[in-house]
A and B are shown apart, each in its own frame.
Chain A
Amino acid sequence: MNAVKALFTKQAVDLPKNMTVLSMFIMWPIMGILFGQFMPDPISIQMANFAGILIGAGPMIAISNNVAEDVEYKGLRFLVMAGVKPWQYIGGMALFFAIVTIVTLAIMAILGGFTGEILLWFCILSLFGIISSSLLGGAIGIFSKNVQQATAYSMPIMMVLAFIPIVAMFNEGIGRFAQFLFSYQIGAVLFPLVMRAYPGFTYDIPDPDYTRAVIVMVANAVILLVLFIVAYKKKGLRG
């Protein structure tokens, strides 16, 4: 536990100094507030929208960036030499960024005024989304030789995870593909629920399909777990 605690503390000290990663956690709530102020839709819709992007992008970018940085600058080599096990290294980091994401999501839930059924589904979907996003970030970090390569991999994936669900709202073809993404299901469940709370705002969006959402979220988490294991077995975490 010493190692997990030490790595967790190191991440807490480092995050305020790491603008690339920090911006991933402060940008989306701010965007939600700004869109809530200047767009006709209620802030709840904006918060649901940007929470999906945060979950898709935040843990993935943070973990891939940190792992790749530790590989590139050999920090990981010294951690391994100090007896840190790979599960302690990745576990300490994932735990830290999961908590940061949950705190940010809690702020967004408060700003969006989520209560009752909306809040319950927001929490369930967020949990699965954070797990999937973290596994993806870990796999990208392991596959990358340096931070530049990790960014080259993670940015297009972030665009797919974050923005395709939004585009899918207006394009049926993209929607058929997007429904298999965990980040899409967050919006697919939350939007109708949020809109029910605001009868004045109507979109042509079907009622949420909870069963499909849970199946897609679990399937994404399992597939990304397999990807992470393959990445780890192939390249390992030795620095």
Chain B
Amino acid sequence: MISMTNIVKRFGDKTVLSDVSFNVEPKEIFGLLGPSGSGKTTIINILTHQLTPEGGEYNIGASPIETGLMLEEDGLYKRLSTTDNLNLFAGIYGVNRNKVQEALESVGLGKEAKTPVSKLSKGMRQRLALARAILHSPKVLFLDEPTGALDPTTGRQIHKLIYNLRDEGTTIFLTTHNMEEAVDLCNHVALLHEGVIVEQGTPTEICEKHNSFKTVPDLGAVFMKMTGVTEV
């Protein structure tokens, strides 16, 4: 569904991605793991055609309109209500307006339908950005740190929503620096360090390979062992 082969990306003299390759199968949750600055967002920007790589090839089995996107910068209209923000995109996608309330309910913002975005907390804005990303039932969903600003309870609700979307046939590509989240959510993961993929596979395979399977797979320990970083 999504593939990258030998992708190289430079900003000036600095190489931010070196020979990055991976495959994402249809209807799976694929996690790209790594600390801030490792190149995760650059990969999403390339896959969503916002950046052009210097080398390599990439492919997405979905048109831009069949793609949903949630980035760290939410791009929401602060003066407008949550409903009006989604109405804009419902109009663009040609989606029935009933789906707007459904999308708000699905991220737990049903009661905030008339609230201006400027009055929402960061976590609520993140959930609204997710509602916008799934409004048109995309084939492929890109989520950049989907639970980064959320409390654990809301984070779990979002995890449940992501599972449901996967079960309904959406291919999900997410980035996170939260190793536990990756173990919980992802069918396959790739560990990214300074623009290089140092390991990839299922969380269980990776942890077994590196003897880091305690009661649950400990991807954090694998990452630290492979990259030499002391904290993830």
B86, chain A: closest CB distance, angstroms = 11
Say whether B80 contacts A81, CB under 8 Å: no
B37, chain A: closest CB distance, angstroms = 20
* In-complex Cβ contact of B64 among A74, A75, A76, A81 (8 A): A81
CA distance A13 to B79 in the complex (A): 9
Say whether A82 contacts B79, CB under 8 Å: no
Say whether A78 contacts B91, CB under 8 Å: no
Say whether A9 contacts B88, CB under 8 Å: yes
| A interface, over-half SS | helix
Say whether A82 contacts B93, CB under 8 Å: yes
Within 8 A of A (CB), among B36-91: 48, 50, 63-65, 67, 69, 71, 73-80, 84, 87-91
CA distance A9 to B4 in the complex (A): 39
Say whether B94 contacts A78, CB under 8 Å: no
Known: A78-B75, A81-B48. A10 touches B84 (CB 8 A): yes
> What are the interface flags for A1-38 relative to B under an 8 Å C-beta threshold, 1 for contact and 0 otherwise?
01101110110011001100000000000000000000
Q: Please give, as numbers and ranges, the residues of chain A lying within 8 Å of B88 by CB-CB distance.
A: 6-7, 9-10
* A-side interface residues, number (CB < 8 Å): 24
A19, chain B: closest CB distance, angstroms = 10
* In-complex Cβ contact of A14 among B73, B77, B91, B92 (8 A): B77
Say whether B94 contacts A2, CB under 8 Å: yes
Asked if A195 is an interface residue, CB under 8 A from chain B, the answer is no
Say whether B92 contacts A9, CB under 8 Å: no
CA distance A44 to B107 in the complex (A): 56
CA distance A166 to B84 in the complex (A): 41
CA distance A82 to B88 in the complex (A): 11
Say whether B92 contacts A75, CB under 8 Å: no
CA distance A74 to B74 in the complex (A): 7
Known: A9-B88, A10-B88, A81-B67. A75 touches B75 (CB 8 A): yes
Say whether A78 contacts B132, CB under 8 Å: yes
- Residue positions of B touching A, CB distance < 8 A: 48, 50, 63-65, 67, 69, 71, 73-80, 84, 87-94, 116, 132
Query: Which 6 pairs between the two chains have the least Cβ-Cβ distance?
Result: A6-B91, A74-B75, A17-B79, A78-B75, A83-B65, A74-B73
